[in-house]
Structure 1
Amino acid sequence: MRRIYIVVLACLLGTSLSSCLVSKKKYDAEVAAKNKLIKEKKRLQTERRKLLGQVANLKNDTTRLGKELRDLNRKYASLRESSNLTTTQLRKQLNERQKELQRKEQLLANREAVVQKLKAAIDRKDNLLKNLLGKVRNALKNFNPDELTVTSKNGKIYVSLAEKLLFKSGRTDVDRKGKKALGKLAEVLNKNQDIDIQIEGHTDSIPITTARFRDNWDLSVLRATSIVRILVKDYEVDPKTLTPAGRGETTPVASNKNKEGRAKNRRIEIVLSPKLDELFQLLDQG
């Protein structure tokens, strides 16, 4: 009986021990599983934090990029508006420049036309002077070179008549031979109305001593006016073309230190100039 009891007790102890061994394995497995879950949870939490950080960064980037996009849109709109304004201004400036260019081209054309007219007028004046010079020289060819000379310079003709051809010393009345020379010249002047005539009296440097004249100025002026009167009264030269002038001793053509030089300085110069009215009018147009 006792033996049976021992056997039964042994069986019960074996069964209990086996059951305990099974429970421990199960516990260890559950602990391991739990630890694994805890570790996985931590990993997932770490991953979640990373993802949340990335989401926050993406939101910030989106906000920044959105602001940049809006700024770019504003700048683009501003540039487009400015471009339209600049284009309009450039077109306006171009139109103004074109109008100014056309105006200047027209002005240049007008001035070129005036220049051509001036050239033509100058050519006519030069031809008139050349023809007049030939006619004056031909009219006075019978007089000696020491009595009168005919020269051309600076666009004018100078007829220089020596004192001995016209006047006695200290006198203003013209001698017969001098009147003859003036008559020959007057024939040419009356056929050429487009000239101005200046009659200039010249003296030497020796002061005049007669009671009639205060100085050489008086003598030169009165001699010039005597020539003018003869041309007008005796030879019907248009008085509007004549201008008397006295130069006294101020414009010598030779030295006053010797007799020959002083004789050359005592003279009447008749200066013939083509009328320049046409040239002045053309210059006013230019």
Structure 2
Amino acid sequence: MSKKSKRHQDHEEHADESWLLPYSDLMTLLLAMFIVLFGMSSVDSQKFQEMSEAFNSVLTGGKGVLDHNSMINQNENSGITEDVTKALNKKMSDLKRQEEENLEALKKRLDKYIDQNGLTDQLDTKLNQSQLMITISDIALFPSGEAEVKPEARVLAKAIAKMLEEFPDYEVFVSGHTDNIPISTNQFRDNWDLSSVRALNFMKILLLDDKLDPKLFIATGNGEYRPVASNDTSAGRAQNRRVEVSIIRKYQDSVEVKSVQ
């Protein structure tokens, strides 16, 4: 046989080495994994977090088995969160208690003023979970069907304003209300107009006290649509014709800081 034929047979019997390429890739990946595992055994928590975020972002697009919060500091963060929550709730409780004491003291002063001036049938106070409300009958403030505050009622408004100075950063709502008897005059088209102007005029007198902040005061007119008594009787209609001055609580029972799990 010729030398050329012999060389041809040797070439055909040469071993297939194509498996070396995937084998080398596998070895490279294994080496990279062991390097990462070795690095993980000695890095600090900050570096671990950075690495885990990078892995999660690339591999899963979010949190996964390398989630720093769940693997390293879950118990520690939980304890800190509970401590902060308790501290915040205690602070909130203290503020609510102080507010309650202050509002109760103001109510007592108002009630004393009402008694001393013989206004028990014209003024009333009520303290509830949302506000301290001063209700003033319309006959104590305005002539019938009008919105100009009586001169003697200005004294009352100034006394209330003086007491409000103790709550300089509280919101105060002044709302006007009427009965359901229709009104139509050159000045007022309906009860909406009458109740709105009455509330606004009374609020302006309160704000003559320059220690009160106008941006915290809101005047609204409700017309006949929020009655406190039946409009079927004259006594009920008299109760419905009123102006309410409400000091809005900041710290109500529904406000509570809850721990984030």
Preserved contact between residue 114 and residue 285 of structure 1 (Cα < 8 Å): no
Give the structure 2 partner of residue 143 of structure 1: 118
User: Hey, what's the Cα distance between the residues in 1 that align with 2:89 and 2:107?
Assistant: 26
How many residue pairs end up in the alignment?
A: 193
The CA deviation at 1:249 is 1.0
* Identity across matched positions, percent: 29
Match for residue 134 of structure 1 among 108, 116, 120? 108
Q: Secondary structure at the match of 2:244?
A: strand
Give the structure 1 partner of residue 203 of structure 2: 228
The CA deviation at 1:274 is 3.7
Preserved contact between residue 202 and residue 248 of structure 1 (Cα < 8 Å): yes
Preserved contact between residue 176 and residue 198 of structure 2 (Cα < 8 Å): yes
User: Hey, what's the Cα distance between the residues in 2 that align with 1:146 and 1:177?
Assistant: 16
Q: Secondary structure at the match of 2:175?
A: strand
Give the structure 1 partner of residue 135 of structure 2: 160
User: Hey, what's the Cα distance between the residues in 1 that align with 2:227 and 2:82?
Assistant: 46
User: Hey, what's the Cα distance between the residues in 1 that align with 2:109 and 2:125?
Assistant: 11
Query: Does the alignment pair 1:108 with 2:71?
Result: no
User: Hey, what's the Cα distance between the residues in 1 that align with 2:259 and 2:219?
Assistant: 32
Give the structure 1 partner of residue 175 of structure 2: 200
Deviations 1:73-123 (A, max 9, x none): xxxxxxxxxxxxxxx9xxx99x95562122212111111111111111111
The CA deviation at 1:175 is 0.7
Match for residue 219 of structure 1 among 191, 194, 198? 194
**Matched AA of 2:93:** K
**Matched AA of 2:157:** L
- Compare CA radii of gyration and give the structure with the larger one: 1
Deviations 1:154-174 (A, max 9, x none): 241111111110011111101
The CA deviation at 1:190 is 2.1
Deviates more, 1:121-130 or 1:191-200: 191-200
Q: Which 5+ residue runs of structure 1 have no aligned equivalent? A: 1-87
Give the structure 2 partner of residue 258 of structure 1: 233
Preserved contact between residue 140 and residue 181 of structure 1 (Cα < 8 Å): no
The CA deviation at 1:136 is 2.2
Match for residue 184 of structure 2 among 174, 191, 209? 209
**Matched AA of 1:140:** I
Preserved contact between residue 133 and residue 244 of structure 2 (Cα < 8 Å): yes
Give the structure 1 partner of residue 96 of structure 2: 122
Query: Does the alignment pair 1:178 with 2:153?
Result: yes
Alignment RMSD (CA, Å): 3.0
Q: Which 5+ residue runs of structure 2 have no aligned equivalent? A: 1-40, 42-65
Q: Which has the higher helix share?
A: 1
The CA deviation at 1:266 is 0.4
Match for residue 222 of structure 2 among 211, 223, 247? 247
Deviations 1:215-262 (A, max 9, x none): 1111111100001111123x3333223211111111111100111110
